[in-house]
Structure 1
Amino acid sequence: MEILVVDDHPIICDGLKRYLEQTASVPVNVRTLNTLKQATDAIESDYNPDFVFLDLNLDSENQSIGTLERFQEHNARDAAVVVFTGISPRDAAAADVVRSCLGLKAKTVIFKGADIDQMFVGLERILAGEAWIPHEVVSLLLKPTNSRTVDLSPRQWDVARGVSKGLRNKQIANELNTTEANVRQIVTSIYKRLNINSRVALADVVKKAEIKL
């Protein structure tokens, strides 16, 4: 099994690498990288990991959900992504981050500050092919969304503005220098995040939020 760990802290990379190699029930090869650019270059090459453990906060340009969005733009082979983040589940933005990660097809979200035994048990279950979500994540998903708050990532706002201008996904993709499939994925994640189901409703949300187009 091929595993990629992407984290800007070498100590975390080395510790996770040793743990996975020593405890996995199947032979594993763990590769560690420290930047998003290194990670996207790797998955666009012949390298094809079975799992990617991705930290959300890598540097000043790659923070929070935007890191996962940019990674998934390059993840053409749909390698399974496990978000491995230092954000606290008590953070006010944690619920939105979790929902956005799952909307962007992350398999699960693991908090670095979680109980270490539970975290390692979870990793073992993920590597065994099970669908596993930590109890902290389940608790956050059960929290009601605040319909008065429009909290989208910068990339999601870019797409939402395009929709509000009446642009099709292909046109938005051309403006943002990405693929139509990625725009479609982001639109779907916005629908889930805002609990809406149409482009008309999304355009109305943008206008009510008084976003300058």
Structure 2
Amino acid sequence: MRVLIVDDHPIVISGCRALLETDPGVEVLEAEDGASGFAAFFDSRPDVAVIDINLPGHSGLELLRRIIGQAPEARLIVFSMNDDPIVAARAIEAGAKGYIAKNDDPALFAEAVKEVANGGLYLHPEMARQIAFLRAGGNADAISSLSPRELEILRLLAAGRTMAQIADLLNVSYKTVANNCTQLKQKLGARSAMDLMRIALGARI
């Protein structure tokens, strides 16, 4: 089994290698950013790729989408310090076959890789439960009243974009985005940007 690890922290890669190479049938490849990860994937065609969500340059989710766009059958796992179910759900929606938080039991890492390599899916049961509760939420009536600009900002927040990134993408000032976020919180009864992300995810914005 060939496994590609895409992470910019050498210690993390070393730890992953140590966990996987106890099995002599596993070959571990590595890349440190989105560009080299994309090239390494198509050069080596690994059985599984484990992608850190926070990579230099393009994010792990953007790398995942790029790979899936050219290889829909790719077996990809997102690896993250973030154990928020919103982030995990976004990864699964983007095409990931698994999601592992870096604070999970290390023994689960090798288990997840083997499960995905065998054609399965991997999500920690507690994470799956939290995502299910998110799916049960939603605020459809309030969302239907939002303007196109507000909907776009909400969608970008749900995709993990910062307000500064949203301002750049929409070609508006940071202050404009901040004001729109304040209005969104009032309209949707949210207290924070994280609440807005949960609402957007529940409504499948």
Deviation at 1:194, TM superposition (A): 5.9
What residue identity is the alignment partner of 1:81? L
CA RMSD, 1 decimal: 2.9
Considering fraction of residues, name the structure with more helix: 2
Tell me the equivalent position of 1:68.
Answer: 64
Q: 1:64–1:97: 8 Å Cα contact kept in structure 2?
A: no
Q: Structure 1 unaligned runs (5+)?
A: 162-191, 197-204, 206-213
Q: Any idea what the Cα deviations from partners look like across 1:142-190, whole Å, max 9, x if unmatched?
A: 2234435644326xx9xxx9xxxxxxxxxxxxxxxxxxxxxxxxxxxxx
In the alignment, residue 65 of structure 2 is paired with which amino acid?
A: E
* Aligned partner of 1:28 among 11, 26, 29: 26
Q: Which residue number in structure 1 is paired with residue 13 of structure 2?
A: 13
- Is the Cα contact below 8 Å between 1:56 and 1:62 reproduced in 2? no
Q: CA deviation at 1:134?
A: 0.8
Letter in 2 for 1:85: S
1:48 to 27, 33, 45: 45
TM-score (norm 2): 0.61
1:1-213 superposed matches below 5 A: 1-23=1-23, 27-45=25-43, 47-59=44-56, 61-63=57-59, 65-73=61-69, 75-76=70-71, 78-87=73-82, 89=83, 94-144=84-134, 145-147=137-139, 150=155, 151-153=157-159, 193=201, 195=203
Give the drift of 1:96: 2.2
Gaps of 5+ in 2: 144-153, 171-199
Query: Aligned partners of 2:59 and 2:45: how far apart in 1?
Result: 24
1:65 counterpart SS class: helix
Identity of aligned residues (%): 22
* 8 Å CA contact 1:17, 1:32 repeated in 2: no
